[in-house]
């Protein structure tokens, strides 16, 4: 068995020209940046700030956002080189196939499928809660039975509506995303500017609370990090260790810039626009996250922060309930675009794997009318809707973090390998300081993985084992690369001449 066979980059690009599997190139650098902002700003800024500040890091949560932003920035530089050099749908899956081999590509593709689907379902669950709260303020009380874990019909309904939007084509999705992003950016800026008038500098003292300090009351399950479980770190709460524990938590807030890379095949000028979209959206969101975290912890003492709705409750605490309603509208808008783009990303990874034969080929067909992989999009929507409706998602959400960090590690390694194997390959964007920067990206991502709970690692391993079973029973035998080449993978021109 040749598990390490690689797919030539030229072949990957050539596959994008097949009429029945061809996506439309309709996105600009601005579209990509707005996509990135649309998926990054969501649950993290409106929810996780409270948990991270009140339970783990105190006002130093601003540093936690910086830590996560730096880790993502290191990975973003690696993604930018690959996405501009190999402008093919699939993101880390496609990059791994060209460098690390089919088995690793399968692992990361399988990982991304879980990450993006579970992320979409988790966000949909949060969306339903905000929707119910806003409906109540408007005088409409929704029965708890239709938006609670185990039978969340509201979450399923919004997922299916967004699935219909995605099926209309990437340009339609882009325009709708742009409108909603404008709304939520306006509200985030409103939070920052309005909150400045209610900051008490005494709330920043101590900026880094001593380790073991009492914090806010949390409703999340108590789970230490893997490092603390094996006795290598005291972990949080608070102290310097708490900053890094919080960074692993708020990392969820940054998930999304990598999804921009899945749209490489639908970008007009990927060599120029992919780096701009990836790095631009990440930079903008990092600045906004740090600013919001400083405002919230300045308005409310860290140990009195309401973990479940920190931004809205901060304004209620200073006698501005109307502002809280505006924030809830922003959260609803933010979560809407996060869901939509997560599902777009998941469908593109699924599409790329199916086009390579690792999943059933029906999922690689593209609608000639809309330029969208309709079968994949509908399947993604139905699965995410079912997960959102039926599964208790709180404890599973950390799987999204570990899956993303794992993808970051493989992309950084792939950059190093491709630099060595194909130094001749035209690159419009070069990751700086190679090999130091990719190595730092690997180490930083792995360290954040170690700060996630042991239970998350166990679930991740179980999902990977299931993936190996699917690959060996289906993917390996149906791989187009395996059927088209014997022995060592050759480039297309070599195959024709040989």
Q: Which of 328, 56, 418, 404 is nearest to 216 (CA)?
A: 56
Please enumerate in sequence order all residues whose Cβ is within 8 A of that of 495, keeping only pairs 6 or more positions apart, or say none.
Answer: 484, 485
Structure tokens at 424: 């001749």
d(CA 24, CA 26): 6
The pLDDT assigned to 245 comes to 83
pLDDT in the model for residue 453:
82
- Indicate the helix (H) or strand (E) that contains 72: helix 61-85
Sequence-separated (6 or more) residues with CB below 8 Å from residue 381: 159, 160, 162, 163, 164, 166, 343
pTM of the model: 0.84
Whether 128 contacts 336, CB under 8 Å: no
Structure tokens at 423: 């130094």
Residue 241: per-residue pLDDT = 85
For the beta carbon of residue 488, count every other beta carbon within 10 angstroms: 10
Q: What is the pLDDT of residue 234?
A: 53
How far apart are alpha carbons 189 and 191 in whole angstroms? Answer: 5
Could you say which residues of the chain have pLDDT below 70? 1, 43-44, 217-225, 227-236, 308, 393-398, 485-498
CB proximity list for 287: less than 8 A, separation 6 or greater: none
- Name residue 27's beta-bridge partners: 267
Beta bridge partners of 453: 225
* Residue 98, pLDDT score: 87
Domains of the chain: 9-214+221-497 (1.20.1740.10)
């Amino acid at each position: 068995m040749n598990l390490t066979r690689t797919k030539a980059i030229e072949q990957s690009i050539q596959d994008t020209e097949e009429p029945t599997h061809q996506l439309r190139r309709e996105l600009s650098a601005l579209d990509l940046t707005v996509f990135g902002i649309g998926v990054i700003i969501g649950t993290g800024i409106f929810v996780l700030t409270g948990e991270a500040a009140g339970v783990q890091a105190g006002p130093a949560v601003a540093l936690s956002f910086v830590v996560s932003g730096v880790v993502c920035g290191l990975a973003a530089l690696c993604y930018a080189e690959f996405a501009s050099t190999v402008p093919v749908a699939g993101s880390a899956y496609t990059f791994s196939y060209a460098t690390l081999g089919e088995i690793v590509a399968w692992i990361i593709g399988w990982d991304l499928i879980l990450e993006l689907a579970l992320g979409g379902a988790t966000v949909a669950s949060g969306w339903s809660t905000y929707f119910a709260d806003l409906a109540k303020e408007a005088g409409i009380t929704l029965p708890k039975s239709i938006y609670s874990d185990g039978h969340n019909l509201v979450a399923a309904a919004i997922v299916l509506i967004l699935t219909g939007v995605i099926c209309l084509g990437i340009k339609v999705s882009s325009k709708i995303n742009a409108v909603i992003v404008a709304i939520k950016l306006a509200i985030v800026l409103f939070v920052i500017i309005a909150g400045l008038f209610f900051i008490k500098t005494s709330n920043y003292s101590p900026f880094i609370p001593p380790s073991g300090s009492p914090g806010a009351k949390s409703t999340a399950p108590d789970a230490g990090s893997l490092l603390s479980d094996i006795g290598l770190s005291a972990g949080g709460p608070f102290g310097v260790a708490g900053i890094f524990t919080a960074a692993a938590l708020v990392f969820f807030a940054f998930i999304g810039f990598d999804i921009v890379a899945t749209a490489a095949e639908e970008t007009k000028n990927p060599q120029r626009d992919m780096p701009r979209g990836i790095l631009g959206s990440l930079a903008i969101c990092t600045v906004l996250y740090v600013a919001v975290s400083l405002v919230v912890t300045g308005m409310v003492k860290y140990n009195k922060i309401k973990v479940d709705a920190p931004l809205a409750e901060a304004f209620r605490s200073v006698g501005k309930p109307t502002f809280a309603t505006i924030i809830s509208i922003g959260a609803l808008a933010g979560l809407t675009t996060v869901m939509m783009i997560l599902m777009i990303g998941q469908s593109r990874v699924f599409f790329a794997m199916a086009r390579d034969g690792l999943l059933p080929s029906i999922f690689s067909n593209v609608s000639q009318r809309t330029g969208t992989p309709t079968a994949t999009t509908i399947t993604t929507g139905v699965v995410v809707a079912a997960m959102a409706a039926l599964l208790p998602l709180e404890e599973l959400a950390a799987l999204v973090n570990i899956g993303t960090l794992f993808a970051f590690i493989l992309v950084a390694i792939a950059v190093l390998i491709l630099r060595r194997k194909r130094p001749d390959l035209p690159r419009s964007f070069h990751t700086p300081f190679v090999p130091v920067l990719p190595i730092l990206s690997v180490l930083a991502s792995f360290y954040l993985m170690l700060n996630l709970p042991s239970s998350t690692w166990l679930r991740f391993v179980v999902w990977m084992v299931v993936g190996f079973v699917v690959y060996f029973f289906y993917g390996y035998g149906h791989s187009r690369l395996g059927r088209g080449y014997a022995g060592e993978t050759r480039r297309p021109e070599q195959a024709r001449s040989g």
